């Protein structure tokens, strides 16, 4: 079982995200970085599948050289192979990213064999383009379903569950397949101290890939206008209950 | 939400452990109209308190830190927000084992229960420690873990309930406004916040890592830098979870990997002081909104932690499989000298600092500042080492603060010798003889910013001449040389020239100068022109603030000469109390005046070659200042000869203009060439010469906890003029004989348990009764070594210590503990052990 | 020249998101000077045509095929792509729901065109300029789109759905795509209903708990209140991480986005992760011991106090009034 997980290095901001003065990017001067949460779950899912099916997990990222930190984190929680497509720009647009990933994946598969599963996060935490995994799947001619919160493997097919309002849909996807993973599919493990130390020694293979820019171009980032509202304090402690219930009546939710 | 306060008596900025405890303590001392402001939410506004490891190891070599730590631990206990977990410092090296023995000694000094453990005994207390990698442990059962946030809440509540303190969270200070107060001094007037402006009499900055930035708003400085201390919470771990409490096992400090392992419920917090120094400018700290966690929980940089992680696993196998659930680059405050920043800022009146204080000292330090604001000086303990006015200009720049923090971070768990010198930021202030001293291979010790020769390599021949030896144990020999003994013996035999350029020299001038000088000093300053007065300055409570020399230079001119370690505090004390009516002006003339000390039996013969002035006790009497012209290589140099001695032999402090210094040095050295003159270092001036004469040193023997009677510096009569501390001083005299007296003791046998000769360093080693019991007076003051050094002319190692009066009798046999061994000592004197009647000095 | 709006239906009933997309699309088409057309996929959609017309659809394409009996991202994407090509649509849009974004990504991949997800505002010129959502709504991006066929989704809850002042013609046009069997590989095979009735995403009342609830058991009081209000319980990421509630209860950027009439946030500090999932709520009542908590500042209403005392008191008060 060969599994590939594509991850993205994203900033870990607080409740206010600052933008650089020129509006080009998130101001990351004082921020740490992490793996996009959906993708962190995808790595965990891949590692669990690999543990159950004697598999091998490769993690691939397209990003600045520092993205090695996220690859090593993946190694510290059980990924086996780490591949970096280094870029120098802040971000590549989704078409360009998908094109580069497709090239890189084809290259790896040509050398080492086809991936039975390729996992993406449903969308990245920062730019939220909702498309890279689907574009890659299309380019590779593989089936793809997004929003996956459960995977069972049997007889060369992935039974994938997708959460909908009030339940879930089940897809039977023949492998090789591509799945877009959503947070909640699992609770990702934390790295152990030994895992962290071992990951320091893991090899990261870097593959430079060129790809043409797509048609979506960032002009600038900005923060939405904040709605300044006065909070109405209904009271302190349990004595506030009548005021609360008055409010609920007023809003018509007490019917 | 209550109305925004437009007026207050005092605004405390920062609601962490310090600010919150401060309003509580101020309330207890009767303060009202207080406002506590913090830019963050409560109870955790996002400063260092919020991520503190919250444990207190009560043993510290430093007296202020040890006693305030203990004081704080007791306040946490009194609030029932503390649990005694116990704690063990483990050693992986023999050098560390020796340090643990030194800690045993400090534990005894402060009366803290402590035990040296074998590896197996460590294993009994903490079964998951791999006892193969350790040589032993230092166990302290009263190590405690506290709830700092709840303590802050409790103290705030007390201030709110008893003193109506108003607490404004989520309120950011944008500016501190000042006005030109009496005498032209910038004085606090208002605090500007994003919610409004509060006009106020007093402002206290308790802003932790942000303190310097906030102080800068008012034009003041609080020299500290936000510094990263990494920590990781790893778990869950079954053996820890099974204790079913916050902490069930003693905290382990793995000193040689600069790490600690502290149970936190079911997981282990691994904290490190072993990584590279990671410093931040306050502007780099994100706001509460911008921070992923809190502002002072900065993004973890794992590469810096890996070495510590490996060592942690080495010590505790189980940590290898534990998951890293939370890891931060936590910020804390470091200062240039490792001590806190307390007291009124020097630049702005009524602007106070309560900064660079960790949780372990928080409540105690808050009490210190509250008392300081209330009584004019702290009562709970002398805090001169933490006084923010101790810093000179050269210690307040970012360059200096960063360099010191960069060098000292690794010393947090390090083994730091009492004499240890800094590697960086040297030669900030040097005397006019510096290049000459370099040519003489001087070993320089830095006193705050000033370089002073401790001994001269060029005098190495004296070692042979006097048959001297190195000390057998490296620790005793470190930062020491037998040359210093040679310089001492040569001074006693011939004479020595001592560079005293680091003296801090001030001049008060004007019609009110003498009266003001008298207000500062215990002894009478209104004496004949040309006389000098050695005098204490007291705190309002009658303890020592300073100990220095004042000189009546003219009708309306008084010169103040004080030691380099105390210059900052003394200058601030003068400025703080100076009349605001313009009748006195203050000048710091340190860099205009240089001083050379020339002492020894040949000193008069040497100086006599440069002047025709009568240098006998008649023409240049002891304690008098006479203006002369000295013949320096053909040119006449104006100088003042001040006949005095701090080393016990006759001679002078020679004052001249800074620029004349080199010519004077050359002339004196040439004149003394055939009379055995040698350049002589601080080892003689500050230690061996001084100790043989039993002279007290400010900051060592003299502290605000002791008064002139106890120090043996009281004169028969008290002057009529008023002075600061007079009332308390009179009351102490009224009581009669003091409870303790300063003494000099001789070590009767320096042989340790390994048969080696040892030399106590003067680092608070406890003086004990023959039965081993501690000696503690009714105020809780323990008898401990305040200064120590070898007395070459008496052939014994000398110690100074306060002893209860009944023990302060020559011939009394006692013991001293050093590195956990006991040595017999005998009380030699309450005065000098060499030339007790001052024949050599005054003949 | 037309703008095609993908509308989703459940046995002929349009969902709110589709009407948002149509409301947005009709205004965008008007500005761009092109016609606004809707497409619904699968059988039984004909009953929706009147409503689509009322919301401005000039034509309603009813796409159907054996493979389209249930949802399948590839089948839907292929169908929509063929329709775009067939009618020569110059733009295609949908609401930025899971399905909407997924299908449009398939369309864009097939057309080899860019896809701009979750726009809040579009200015159609020669090159379109738009504002779109990043970071789940805490940041906005201004972008330009250079494409032959513009594929864009409109951020959910970015517009209020409203009928058009001048209804569209609503001309119904059947469409049968040519679907290869291969696209059926990702069609829904089964559906599992987990809970009866109201869900977190649609509940008019959500009672959320954060770290301040303190334990798994602590949620019982929140369940009680949600029960009497006919609502459901949600939680913050800290709660999920502590294992006190399943992830399906998590409100937030990576959990469920809620839009209730009232969200009662108890013991929740209001980290951005959580806030972006809750900000679409009509009203927010924060219950927190800390009057300075972020959630209190952002909420319209607040009670300062221990949630373990306040929440039961509210439940009791409701019971008392109902007698």
Nearest Cα residue to B26 out of B153, B214, B208, B165: B165
Predicted confidence band of residue B1 (pLDDT cuts 50, 70, 90): very low
Tell me the chain C residues in contact with residue B41 when contact means C-beta distances shorter than 8 Å: 290, 292-294
Inside any domain, residue A53: yes
Place of tokens 């040309």: B530
For the beta carbon of residue B598, count every other beta carbon within 10 angstroms: 27
Inside any domain, residue A96: yes
Q: C22: domain CATH number? A: 3.40.50.620
* CA B682 from centroid of its chain's CA atoms: 19
Q: Do B306 and A197 touch (CB under 8 A)?
A: yes
Rounded CA-CA distance C226/C53 in Å is 38
What is residue B546's three-state secondary structure?
strand
Same domain, C99 and C151: yes
Lowest average pLDDT, out of A8-17, B575-584, B787-796, C16-25, goes to A8-17
Evaluate whether A1 touches A53 at the Cβ level (below 8 Å): yes
Rounded CA-CA distance B408/B402 in Å is 10
* CA A69 from centroid of its chain's CA atoms: 15
Inside any domain, residue A213: no
Which letter does DSSP use for residue B233 in this model?
E
Q: Do B298 and A197 touch (CB under 8 A)?
A: no
Q: Is C178 on the interface with B (CB under 8 A)?
A: no
Same domain, C99 and C133: yes
Rounded CA-CA distance B355/B300 in Å is 25
Tell me the chain B residues in contact with residue C292 when contact means C-beta distances shorter than 8 Å: 41-42, 169-170
Q: Look at residue B165 and tell me whether its pLDDT is greater than 90.
A: yes
Same domain, C146 and C23: yes
- A19, A193, A234: best mutation site toward chain B, by most B Cβ within 10 Å? A193
Same domain, C155 and C289: no
- A22, A97, A128, A176: best mutation site toward chain C, by most C Cβ within 10 Å? A128
Same domain, C233 and C299: yes
Q: Do C136 and A165 touch (CB under 8 A)?
A: no
pLDDT value, residue A251? 87
Inside any domain, residue C196: no
Q: Which of C158, C186, C214 is the last residue of a domain?
A: C186
Tell me the chain A residues in contact with residue B234 when contact means C-beta distances shorter than 8 Å: 192-193
pLDDT tens digit at each of 323 positions of chain C: 899 999 998 878 898 899 999 999 999 999 999 999 999 998 888 888 999 999 999 999 999 999 998 899 999 999 999 999 999 999 999 999 999 999 999 999 999 999 999 999 999 988 899 999 999 888 999 999 999 999 999 999 899 999 999 999 999 999 999 999 889 899 899 988 875 667 887 788 999 999 889 889 999 999 999 999 989 999 998 888 777 898 788 898 777 888 788 999 999 987 767 887 888 788 999 999 887 777 888 888 999 999 999 999 999 999 999 88
Place of tokens 């219950």: C287
Tokens (6 digits) for B842 = 């005054």
Evaluate whether B356 touches B340 at the Cβ level (below 8 Å): yes
Q: Do C142 and A147 touch (CB under 8 A)?
A: no
pTM of the model: 0.90
Helices (H), B282-361: 306-315
What are the DSSP E strand ranges found in B713-772?
A: 740-747, 767-768
pLDDT value, residue A227? 63
* Averaged confidence pLDDT in chain B: 96
Q: Do C292 and B43 touch (CB under 8 A)?
A: no
Predicted interface score ipTM higher than 0.90: yes
Rounded CA-CA distance C239/C210 in Å is 6
Rounded CA-CA distance B595/B588 in Å is 15
CA distances from B399 to A14, B335, B426, B728 (A): 31, 12, 12, 42
Inside any domain, residue A220: no
For the beta carbon of residue C123, count every other beta carbon within 10 angstroms: 14
Q: Look at residue B270 and tell me whether its pLDDT is greater than 60.
A: yes
Q: How many CA atoms lie within 13 A of B487 on its CB side?
A: 33
**Model pLDDT for residues C61-105, shown as the tens digit of each residue:** 999 999 998 899 999 999 999 999 999 999 999 999 999 999 999
**Model pLDDT for residues B719-758, shown as the tens digit of each residue:** 999 999 999 999 999 998 999 999 999 999 999 999 999 9
Same domain, C150 and C219: no
Chain A neighbours among C 192-251 (CB < 8 Å)? 192-195, 199, 201-202, 204-205, 229, 231, 240-241, 243, 247-248, 250
Which letter does DSSP use for residue B291 in this model?
-
Same domain, C246 and C173: no
Question: What chain A residue is nearest to C304 in terms of C-alpha separation?
Answer: A236
Rounded CA-CA distance C194/C256 in Å is 15
| Count of domains for chain C | 2
Q: From 1.20.58.2030, 3.30.9.10, 3.90.1200.10, 3.30.465.10, which CATH number describes the B80-145+226-333 domain? A: 3.30.9.10
* Averaged confidence pLDDT in chain C: 91
Rounded CA-CA distance C318/B354 in Å is 50
| Count of domains for chain A | 1
Tell me the chain B residues in contact with residue A18 when contact means C-beta distances shorter than 8 Å: 290
Rounded CA-CA distance B502/C127 in Å is 74
Same domain, C31 and C172: yes
Q: What percent of chain B has pLDDT over 90?
A: 94
φ/ψ of C161, rounded to 5, equals: -65, 140
Q: Do B288 and A31 touch (CB under 8 A)?
A: no
What mean pLDDT comes out for the span A48-73? Answer: 97
Tokens (6 digits) for A22 = 């020129």
**Model pLDDT for residues B18-62, shown as the tens digit of each residue:** 999 999 999 999 999 999 999 988 888 999 998 999 999 999 999
Contact partners, residue C231, CB within 8 Å, separation at least 6 = A253, C198, C203, C204, C205, C206, C207, C225, C260
Evaluate whether B637 touches B630 at the Cβ level (below 8 Å): yes
Shortest CB distance from B299 goes to which of A32, A196, A197? Answer: A32
Q: Which CATH superfamily is domain B7-46+150-223+337-408 in?
A: FAD/NAD(P)-binding domain (3.50.50.60)
Tokens (6 digits) for A254 = 């007490």
What are the DSSP E strand ranges found in B465-567?
A: 495-499, 504-509, 532-538, 544-554, 557-562
Rounded CA-CA distance C58/B782 in Å is 96
- Domain of A202, in residue numbers: 2-206
Same domain, C147 and C47: yes
Domain boundaries, chain B: 7-46+150-223+337-408, 80-145+226-333, 504-589+707-736, 739-843
Residue B667 sits at the vertex; the CA angle it makes with B661 and B672, to the nearest 5 degrees, is 125
Same domain, C259 and C173: no
Same domain, C250 and C177: no
Judge residue B464's burial from the number of C-beta atoms within 10 Å of its C-beta, 0-12 exposed, 13-18 middle, 19 or more buried: exposed
Helix then strand then coil, in percent of chain A rounded to 5, is 30, 35, 35
Q: A173: domain CATH number? A: 3.40.50.620
Q: Is C300 on the interface with A (CB under 8 A)?
A: yes
Shortest CB distance from A172 goes to which of C189, C253, C254? Answer: C189
Tell me the chain B residues in contact with residue C290 when contact means C-beta distances shorter than 8 Å: 41-43
CATH architecture of B739-843: Beta Barrel (2.40)
Q: Mind telling me how many Å the CA of B170 is from chain C's nearest CA?
A: 7
What is the rounded (10 degree) CA torsion for C108, C114, C118, C124? -110
- Domain of C280, in residue numbers: 205-322
Inside any domain, residue C281: yes
Nearest Cα residue to B816 out of B108, B68, B12: B108
**Model pLDDT for residues B789-816, shown as the tens digit of each residue:** 999 999 999 999 999 999 999 999 999 9
Same domain, C6 and C132: yes
**Model pLDDT for residues B592-627, shown as the tens digit of each residue:** 999 999 999 999 999 999 999 999 999 999 999 999
Q: CATH class for domain B504-589+707-736?
A: alpha beta
Nearest Cα residue to B225 out of B392, B362, B396: B396
Inside any domain, residue C97: yes
For B435, the enclosing helix (H) or strand (E) is: helix B434-439
Q: Mind telling me how many Å the CA of B126 is from chain A's nearest CA?
A: 20
Inside any domain, residue A252: no
Inside any domain, residue C191: no
Nearest Cα residue to B597 out of B634, B549, B557, B636: B549
């Amino acid at each position: 079982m060969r599994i590939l997980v594509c991850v993205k290095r994203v900033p870990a901001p607080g409740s206010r995200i600052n933008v650089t003065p020129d509006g080009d990017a998130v101001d990351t001067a004082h921020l740490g970085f992490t793996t996009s949460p959906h993708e962190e779950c995808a790595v965990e899912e891949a590692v669990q599948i690999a543990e159950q099916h004697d598999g091998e997990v490769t993690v691939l990222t397209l990003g600045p050289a520092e993205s090695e930190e996220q690859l090593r984190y993946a190694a510290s929680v059980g990924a086996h192979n780490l591949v970096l497509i280094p870029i120098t720009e802040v971000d590549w647009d989704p078409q360009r990213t998908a094109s580069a990933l497709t090239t890189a994946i084809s290259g790896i598969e040509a050398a080492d064999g086809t991936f039975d599963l390729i996992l993406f996060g449903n969308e990245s935490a920062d730019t939220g383009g909702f498309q890279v995994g689907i574009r890659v799947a299309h380019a590779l001619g593989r089936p793809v379903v997004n929003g996956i919160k459960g995977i069972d493997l049997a007889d060369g097919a992935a039974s994938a569950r997708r959460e909908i309002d009030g339940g879930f849909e089940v897809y039977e996807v023949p492998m090789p397949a591509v799945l877009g993973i959503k947070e909640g599919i699992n609770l990702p493990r934390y790295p152990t101290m030994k895992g962290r130390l071992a990951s320091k020694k893991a090899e990261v293979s870097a593959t430079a890939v060129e790809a043409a820019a797509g048609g979506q171009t960032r002009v600038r980032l900005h923060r939405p206008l904040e709605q300044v509202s006065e909070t109405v304090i209904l009271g302190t402690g349990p004595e506030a209950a009548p005021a609360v219930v008055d409010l609920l009546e007023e809003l018509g939710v007490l019917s | 939400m209550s109305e925004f306060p437009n007026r207050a008596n005092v605004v405390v900025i920062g609601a962490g452990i310090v600010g919150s405890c401060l309003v509580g303590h101020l309330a207890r001392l009767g303060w009202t109209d207080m406002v506590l402001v913090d830019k963050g939410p409560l109870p955790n506004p996002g400063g260092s308190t919020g991520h503190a490891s919250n444990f207190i190891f009560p043993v510290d070599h430093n007296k202020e830190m040890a006693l305030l730590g203990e004081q704080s631990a007791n306040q946490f206990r009194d609030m029932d927000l503390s649990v005694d977990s116990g704690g063990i410092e483990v050693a992986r090296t023999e050098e560390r084992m020796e340090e643990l023995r030194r800690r045993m000694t400090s534990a005894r000094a402060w009366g803290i229960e402590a035990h040296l453990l074998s590896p197996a005994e460590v294993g009994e207390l903490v079964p998951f420690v791999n006892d193969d990698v350790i040589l032993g442990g230092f166990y302290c059962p009263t190590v405690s873990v506290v709830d700092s946030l709840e303590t802050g809440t409790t103290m705030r509540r007390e201030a709110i309930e008893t003193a109506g303190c108003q607490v404004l969270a989520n309120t950011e200070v944008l500016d501190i406004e000042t006005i030109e107060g009496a005498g032209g001094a910038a004085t606090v007037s208002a605090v500007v916040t994003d919610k409004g402006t509060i006009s106020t009499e007093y402002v206290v900055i308790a802003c932790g890592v942000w303190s310097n930035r906030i102080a800068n708003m008012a034009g003041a400085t609080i020299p500290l830098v936000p510094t990263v201390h990494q920590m990781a919470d790893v778990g869950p771990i079954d053996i820890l979870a099974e204790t079913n409490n916050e902490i069930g096992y003693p905290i382990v400090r793995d000193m040689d990997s600069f790490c600690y392992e502290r149970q936190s419920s079911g997981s282990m917090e691994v904290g490190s002081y072993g990584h590279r120094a990671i410093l931040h400018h306050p502007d780099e700290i994100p706001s509460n909104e911008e921070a992923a966690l809190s502002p002072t929980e900065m993004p973890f940089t794992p590469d810096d932690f890996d070495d510590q992680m490996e060592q942690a696993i080495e010590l505790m196998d189980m940590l290898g499989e534990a998951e890293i659930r939370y890891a931060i680059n936590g910020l804390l405050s470091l200062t240039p000298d490792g001590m806190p920043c307390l007291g009124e800022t020097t630049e702005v009146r009524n602007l106070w600092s309560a900064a660079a204080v960790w949780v372990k000292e928080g409540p105690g330090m808050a009490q210190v500042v509250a008392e300081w604001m209330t009584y004019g000086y702290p009562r709970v303990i002398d805090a001169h080492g933490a006084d923010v006015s101790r810093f000179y200009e050269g210690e307040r720049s970012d360059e200096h603060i960063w360099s010191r923090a960069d060098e000292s971070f690794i010393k947090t768990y390090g083994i730091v010798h009492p004499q240890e010198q800094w590697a960086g930021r040297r030669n900030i202030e040097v005397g006019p003889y510096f290049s000459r001293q370099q040519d003489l291979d001087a070993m320089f010790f830095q006193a705050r910013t000033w370089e002073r020769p401790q001994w001269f390599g060029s005098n190495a021949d004296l070692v042979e001449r006097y048959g001297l030896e190195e000390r057998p144990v490296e620790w005793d020999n470190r930062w020491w040389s037998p040359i210093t003994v040679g310089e001492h013996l040569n001074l006693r035999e011939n004479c020595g020239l001592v560079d005293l350029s680091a003296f801090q020299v001030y001049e008060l001038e004007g019609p009110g100068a003498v009266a003001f000088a008298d207000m500062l000093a215990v002894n009478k300053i209104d004496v004949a022109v040309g006389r000098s007065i050695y005098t204490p300055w007291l705190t309002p409570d009658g303890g020592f603030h300073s100990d220095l020399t004042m000189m009546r230079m003219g009708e309306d001119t008084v010169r103040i000469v004080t030691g380099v370690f105390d210059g900052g505090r003394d200058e601030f004390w003068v400025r703080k109390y100076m009349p605001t009516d313009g009748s006195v002006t203050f000048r710091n003339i340190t860099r205009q005046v240089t001083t050379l000390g020339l002492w020894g039996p040949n000193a008069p013969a040497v100086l006599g070659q440069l002047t025709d002035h009568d240098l006998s006790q008649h023409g240049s009497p002891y304690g008098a200042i006479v203006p002369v012209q000295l013949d320096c290589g053909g040119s006449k140099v104006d100088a003042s000869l001040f006949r005095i001695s701090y080393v016990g032999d006759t001679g002078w402090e020679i004052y001249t203009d800074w620029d004349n210094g080199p010519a004077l040095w050359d002339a004196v050295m040439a004149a003394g060439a055939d009379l055995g003159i040698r350049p002589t270092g601080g080892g003689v001036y500050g230690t061996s010469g001084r100790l043989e004469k039993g002279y007290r040193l400010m900051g060592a023997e003299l502290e605000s906890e002791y008064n002139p009677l106890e120090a043996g510096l009281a004169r028969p009569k008290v002057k009529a003029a008023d002075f600061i501390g007079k009332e308390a001083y009179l009351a102490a005299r009224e009581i009669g004989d003091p409870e303790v007296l300063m003494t000099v003791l001789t070590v009767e046998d320096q042989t340790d348990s390994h048969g080696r000769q040892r030399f106590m360093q003067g680092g608070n080693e406890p003086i004990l009764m023959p039965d081993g019991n501690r000696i503690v007076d009714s105020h809780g003051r323990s008898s401990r070594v305040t200064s120590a050094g070898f007395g070459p002319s008496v052939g014994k190692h000398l110690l100074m210590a306060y002893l209860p009066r009944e023990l302060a009798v020559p011939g009394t046999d006692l013991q001293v503990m050093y590195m956990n061994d006991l040595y017999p000592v005998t009380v030699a004197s309450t005065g000098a052990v060499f030339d007790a009647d001052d024949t050599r000095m005054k003949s | 020249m037309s703008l095609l709006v993908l509308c989703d239906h459940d046995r002929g009933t349009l969902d709110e998101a589709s009407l948002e997309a149509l409301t947005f699309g009709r205004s965008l088409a008007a500005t761009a000077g092109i016609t606004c057309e809707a497409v619904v996929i699968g059988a039984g959609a004909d009953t929706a045509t009147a409503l689509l017309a009322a919301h401005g659809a000039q034509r309603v394409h009813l796409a159907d095929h054996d493979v389209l009996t249930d949802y399948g991202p590839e089948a839907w994407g292929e169908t929509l792509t063929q329709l775009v090509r067939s009618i020569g649509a110059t733009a295609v849009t949908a609401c930025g729901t899971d399905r909407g974004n997924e299908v449009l990504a398939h369309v864009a991949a097939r057309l080899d065109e860019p896809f701009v997800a979750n726009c809040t505002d579009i200015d159609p010129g020669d090159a379109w300029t738009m504002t779109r959502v990043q970071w789940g709504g805490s940041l906005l991006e201004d972008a330009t789109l250079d494409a032959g066929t513009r594929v864009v989704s409109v951020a959910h809850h970015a517009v209020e759905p409203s009928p058009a002042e001048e209804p569209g013609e609503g001309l119904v046009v059947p469409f049968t795509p040519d679907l290869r069997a291969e696209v059926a590989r990702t069609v829904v095979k089964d559906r599992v209903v987990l809970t009866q009735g109201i869900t977190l995403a649609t509940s008019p009342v959500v009672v959320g708990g954060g770290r301040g609830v303190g334990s798994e058991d602590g949620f019982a009081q929140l369940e009680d209140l949600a029960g009497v209000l006919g609502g459901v319980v949600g939680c913050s990421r800290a709660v999920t991480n502590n294992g006190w509630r399943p992830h399906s209860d998590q409100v937030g950027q990576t959990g469920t986005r809620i839009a209730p009439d009232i969200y009662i946030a108890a013991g929740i500090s209001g980290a951005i992760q959580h806030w972006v999932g809750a900000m679409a709520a009509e009203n927010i009542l924060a219950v927190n011991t800390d009057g300075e908590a972020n959630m209190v500042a952002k909420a319209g209403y607040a009670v300062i106090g221990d949630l373990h005392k306040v929440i039961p008191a509210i439940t009791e008060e409701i019971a008392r009034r109902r007698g």
